[in-house]
């Protein structure tokens, strides 16, 4: 087991009878998911994905990654939300947040089309000057504004630089199998395409081509990633909450919510977990935040944020709980040097491993936050390998679905995301939105 749930810092916050009361709800939720009969079941494709995936496409992903590695110094990955967060999280977790600065035989990877910032786009274009570029555009719908604008820009850049024919070797499109406009366009243009399966929503798509192609381009072992997820899938087949940590996590979150803990902070003690936190926030926020319900997901990296948000967590409003990820084996070793002058008075830790100090900071914080009235769920993850990450990804996905069903929502839709888009399209003058535009302009002018 690569991920283990530890409840020792929940003592006094959730009683065993509260867990017992929620077990029947969790059993039903598990059955709804495994039987494929739950709400949103047309988006249950991710459940069996770790074993039931398109092997031919998986092989093509590896070939495409090799081609990109050979042809490009820079891979630009264009996508937003579920179409980029998983890949970026995986690359930073397994490789490094400083991946682009590492010595390596794989291309630098930049993410575009996840904002509408002029600065971000122009900076990236300037970084690309004089470099060999490949592009992986990822959009299930093919019409999302942010990635669509970025793809217009990079497609023209590649065609200008390499010609129509040359661009075909450098543009890789991950999109809907048949319906989307991007698929039709790519087939006509001769770009290689990969599929976002119909029954897998964006935030559950990291183990499809959406995540796998960029992840493979970073030199990460995607077989090991899938194996980790497959082993998690096997482990979570049981509906016994005492043997299934994903169910247990879902129960604990719901128990805490029901006693007013409506904000969950995902805590990492490694900067390489920052984007994993972002991926997790989308997964839980978009899955549970609906119908006036949900736990607000936020995140921190400690000890960094102990020096900014630590005060609030210790002492602010008591509606918080934390889920702390501890990486058991840090991989590298670093020993704190001695300072004969002992200027900082820290010679009592000379010769100690830095990770020992990090873990001690974690234990000290867990106890302090408990004392301050903050329940903590501890998730112990074996290491930062692709295998463990695959296991962790599936753990969070599975727990999220169970948790959403216990909460009484459909964890697979996201109706709320459309609201801003409609307003934006109306204000930008999209045909068909004329009445809405007039009404919005009236509101804006305050008439
Ligand atoms: O989870 C989701 O469904 C969203 O975050 C989408 O992934 C995001 O909006 C991008 O959509 P698309 O892939 O259609 O461009």
Which pLDDT score, from 0 to 100, does residue 69 have? 97
Instruction: Answer yes or no: is the C-beta of 81 below 6 A from any ligand 1 atom.
Output: yes
Q: How far is CA 390 from CA 88, 113, 216, 246, 273, in A?
A: 14, 25, 13, 14, 14
Instruction: Answer yes or no: is the C-beta of 268 below 6 A from any ligand 1 atom.
Output: no
Read off the pTM.
Answer: 0.97
Counting ligand 1 atoms within 8 A of each CB, the residue from 43, 78, 80 with the most, and so the one to mutate, is 80
Structure tokens at 117: 């910032």
Residues of the chain with pLDDT under 70: none
**What is the C-alpha to C-alpha distance for residues 294 and 407, in angstroms, rounded to an integer?**
8
Instruction: Answer yes or no: is the C-beta of 139 below 6 A from any ligand 1 atom.
Output: yes
What amino acid positions are annotated as catalytic residues? 286, 307, 421
Which pLDDT score, from 0 to 100, does residue 447 have? 72
Please report where in the chains the tokens 């004089």 appear, as a residue: 130
Measured in Å, residue 416 CA sits from the centre of ligand 1 at 13
Which pLDDT score, from 0 to 100, does residue 187 have? 93
- Helix, strand and coil content of the chain, in percent to the nearest 5, comes to 55, 15, 35
Contact predicate 258/403, CB 8 Å = no
**DSSP string of 52-65?**
SS-HHHHHHHHHHH
Among protein residues, the one with the nearest Cα to ligand 1's atom 1 is 202
Instruction: Answer yes or no: is the C-beta of 147 below 6 A from any ligand 1 atom.
Output: yes
Q: Residue 290: CB partners within 8 Å, gap ≥ 6?
A: 409, 410, 413, 414, 415, 416
**What is the C-alpha to C-alpha distance for residues 176 and 169, in angstroms, rounded to an integer?**
20
Structure tokens at 59: 């092989």
């Amino acid at each position: 087991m690569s991920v283990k749930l530890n409840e020792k810092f929940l003592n006094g916050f959730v009683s065993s009878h509260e867990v017992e009361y929620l077990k029947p709800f969790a059993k039903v939720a598990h059955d709804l998911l495994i039987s494929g009969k739950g709400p949103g079941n047309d988006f249950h494709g991710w459940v069996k994905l770790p074993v039931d995936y398109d092997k031919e496409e998986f092989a093509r992903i590896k070939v495409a990654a090799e081609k990109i590695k050979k042809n490009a110094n820079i891979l630009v990955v264009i996508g937003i939300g579920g179409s980029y967060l998983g890949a970026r999280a995986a690359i930073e977790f397994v490789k490094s947040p400083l991946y682009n600065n590492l010595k390596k035989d794989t291309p630098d990877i930049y993410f575009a089309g996840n904002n509408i910032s002029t600065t971000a786009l122009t900076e990236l274009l300037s970084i690309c000057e004089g470099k060999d570029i490949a592009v992986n555009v990822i959009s299930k719908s093919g019409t999302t504004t942010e990635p669509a604008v970025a793809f217009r820009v990079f497609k023209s850049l590649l065609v200008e630089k390499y010609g129509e024919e040359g661009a075909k070797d450098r543009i890789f499109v991950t999109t809907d199998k048949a319906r989307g406009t991007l698929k039709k366009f790519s087939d006509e243009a001769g770009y290689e395409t990969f599929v976002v399966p119909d029954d897998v929503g964006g935030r559950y798509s990291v183990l499809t081509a959406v995540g796998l192609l960029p992840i493979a381009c970073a030199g990460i072992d995607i077989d090991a990633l899938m194996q980790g997820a497959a082993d998690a899938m096997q482990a979570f087949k049981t509906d016994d909450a005492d043997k299934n940590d994903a169910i247990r996590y879902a129960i604990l979150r719901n128990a805490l919510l029901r006693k007013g803990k409506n904000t969950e902070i995902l805590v990492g003690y490694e900067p390489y977990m920052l984007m994993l936190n972002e991926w997790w926030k989308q997964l839980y926020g978009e899955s549970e935040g609906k119908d006036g319900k949900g736990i607000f997901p936020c995140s921190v990296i400690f000890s960094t944020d102990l020096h900014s948000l630590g005060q609030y967590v210790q002492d602010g409003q008591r509606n918080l709980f934390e889920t702390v990820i501890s990486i058991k084996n840090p991989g590298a070793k670093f020993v704190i040097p001695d300072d004969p002058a002992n200027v900082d008075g820290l010679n009592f830790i000379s010769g100690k491993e830095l990770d020992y100090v990090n873990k001690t900071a974690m234990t000290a914080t867990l106890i302090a936050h408990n004392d301050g009235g903050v329940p903590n769920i501890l998730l112990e993850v074996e290491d930062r390998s692709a295998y463990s990450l695959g296991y962790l990804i599936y753990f969070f996905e599975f727990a999220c679905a169970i948790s959403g069903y216990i909460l009484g929502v459909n964890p697979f839709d996201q109706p709320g995301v459309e609201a801003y888009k409609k307003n934006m399209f109306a204000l930008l003058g999209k045909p068909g939105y004329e009445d809405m535009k007039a009404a919005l302009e009236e509101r804006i002018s305050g008439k």
